[in-house]
Amino acid sequence: MSIKLNDKYVKNFITDTEIEAYREKVVETDKMLRNKTGKGSDFLGWMTASCAYDKDEYARLQAAAEKIKKSCDVFIVIGIGGSYLGSRAVIELVKSPRYNSMKKDTPDIYFSGCNISATDMRELLALCEGRDVCINVISKSGTTTEPSIAFRIFRQYLEDRYGKEGSKDRIFITTDRARGVLKPLATREGYETFTVPDDMGGRYSVLSPVGLLPIAVAGIDIMELLSGCEEARVALSTADIDKNDAYRYAVIRNILLEKGKGIEVLVGYEPSFQMFSEWWKQLFGESEGKDGKGIYPASVIFSTDLHSLGQYIQEGQRQLFETVLSLESADDDLSVPDDAENIDGLNFVSGKSLYEVNQTAMRATILAHVDGGVPNLVLEAKDRTAKTVGYLIYFFWISCAMSGYLLGVNPFDQPGVEAYKKNMFALLGKPGYEAMAEELNAKLQ
């Protein structure tokens, strides 16, 4: 197994009997999930389709990725939420958060349409100057405000630079197969399109063309990623909480929540986990945060944040628990040089590898936080290869589905994200929203 759950650091906080009490409920919930009889079961495509692949579609996707690699220096991925977080997470975890500055034979990749910042947009446009550009617009609906605005700007930019005809080969659209506004536009203009599967929400879509096209452009082996997902699908197909670590993780989270631990902090000891944590936050936040329920997902990168949030975690309000992502092997290592003068008094670490020091920091922190009243779960990942990352993605998907159902919510919808949009449309003057605009403006006075 590429990912193992180590739950020994929660033993002071929960009992085996409490875990045992969930055993039957997990078996029933697993049946409901696999028989597609639970809430939101129209969105379970990720359970099977993600790890398998349609040979023709993926050959076309690989061909498009090769074409993009050859024809541009800068690849702009336009999307928000589930339409961009997964690919960015995988690229930064498997390659590096410094991917764009690395020596490579693949294009720089920038993400746009995930905010409404003019500064960010101006900076991106400036980065494109003098370099060849391709874009991939990812939007199921095609009408989400942030990516739609970014698409307008980049489409105009490409047409000004390459002409309408020349831009055709530089615009790639990933959208709904039939519904939405982008498919007809792409057909009319001759843009190549890929499909957002009907049965996958954004946060469950990274292993579909939504995430796979940018990931392939970054030079990551997508077959390896999918094989990791398949390995997890097989390994996590049992409903036995002694054998299925994803379900056990789901159970423990729910018990901790019942005990007042309403915040889960995902902890990474490598900066490359930063965007992966953002993806994880959307997955659990959108899946569980509803009906007045849910664990608030937060994240930190240690040891960096031990010097900012470490104080709070050690001694602040006792409403949190941590899930630590531990890398069980170092792909890059260095050793600490000796210093004849020992100015900093650190010669006791001379000759030790940075990986060893980092792992020791992790163990020391876990023990300190557990002593401080913070339960710690550890997910041990073999490495950060595409295969293990594919496994980790499926691991979190299935545990999130289980956890959401155990909590009593529909883990596959996100009704709450509409509230801000309605207000924003009204305040921006969208036709049909006049009465609402009047009401909101009065509140803003």
**Structure token digits, residue 434:** 């006049």
> Is the CB of 78 or the CB of 218 nearer to ligand PA5?
78
| Shortest CB 254 distance to ligand PA5, Å | 22
Is 272 a residue that touches ligand PA5 (CB under 6 A)?
Answer: no
189 a catalytic residue: no
What's the rounded Cα separation, in Å, for the pair 291 and 139?
27
Q: Mark whether 307 is an active-site residue.
A: yes
Q: Which of 38, 81, 107, 404 binds ligand PA5 (CB under 6 A)?
A: 81
Q: Which is the catalytic residue, given 278, 286, 288, 322?
A: 286
Using the rule CB under 6 A, is 147 a contact of ligand PA5?
yes
Strands of 171-176's sheet, edge to edge? 108-112, 74-78, 133-138, 171-176, 192-196
- Residue 80 in contact with ligand PA5, rule: CB under 6 A: yes
Question: Taking the CB of residue 367, how many other CB atoms lie within 10 A of it?
Answer: 12
Taking alpha carbons only, the member of 289, 143, 270 closest to residue 203 is 289
Report how far apart the first and last C-alpha atoms of the chain are (Å, whole number): 58
The answer to whether 193 touches 183, Cβ cutoff 8 Å, is: yes
Task: Tell which phi-psi region holds residue 408, choosing left (phi > 0), alpha (psi between -120 and 50) or beta.
Answer: left
Query: What CA–CA distances, in Å, run from 44 to 36, 85, 211, 289, 398?
Result: 8, 19, 17, 19, 10
Side-chain-side CA neighbours of residue 138 (13 Å): 31
DSSP per-residue letters across 143-174: --HHHHHHHHHHHHHHHHHHHHHHHHTTEEEE
* By the rule CB under 6 A, 211 interacts with ligand PA5: no
**Taking CB under 6 A as the criterion, which residues in 41-70 touch ligand PA5?**
none
Nearer to ligand PA5, 183 or 203 (CB): 203
- Nearest approach, Cβ of residue 129 and ligand PA5 (Å): 28
* Known catalytic membership, residue 369: no
- Count residues binding ligand PA5 (CB under 6 A): 14
Instruction: Please tell me whether residue 136 binds ligand PA5 under the rule CB under 6 A.
Output: no
Piece in contact with ligand PA5 (CB under 6 A), picked from 139-147, 235-243, 259-267, 289-297:
139-147
C-alpha to C-alpha distance for 116 and 335, rounded to whole angstroms = 43
- Considering only 135-143, 320-328, 344-352, 379-387, which stretch makes contact with ligand PA5 by CB under 6 A? 135-143
Mark 92-131 with x for binding to ligand PA5 (rule: CB under 6 A) and - for no binding. Answer: ----------------------------------------
Name which position in 87, 139, 208, 254 contacts ligand PA5 (CB under 6 A). Answer: 139
CA–CA gap between residue 115 and residue 126 (Å, rounded): 17
**Gyration radius (Cα) of the chain, Å:** 23
The residue among 202 and 390 lying less far from ligand PA5, judged by its C-beta, is 202
State the minimum distance, in angstroms, from the CB of residue 17 to ligand PA5: 37
Q: Active-site residues: which are they?
A: 286, 307, 421
- Give the footprint of ligand PA5 on this chain (CB under 6 A): 80-83, 139-141, 144, 147, 201-203, 286, 414
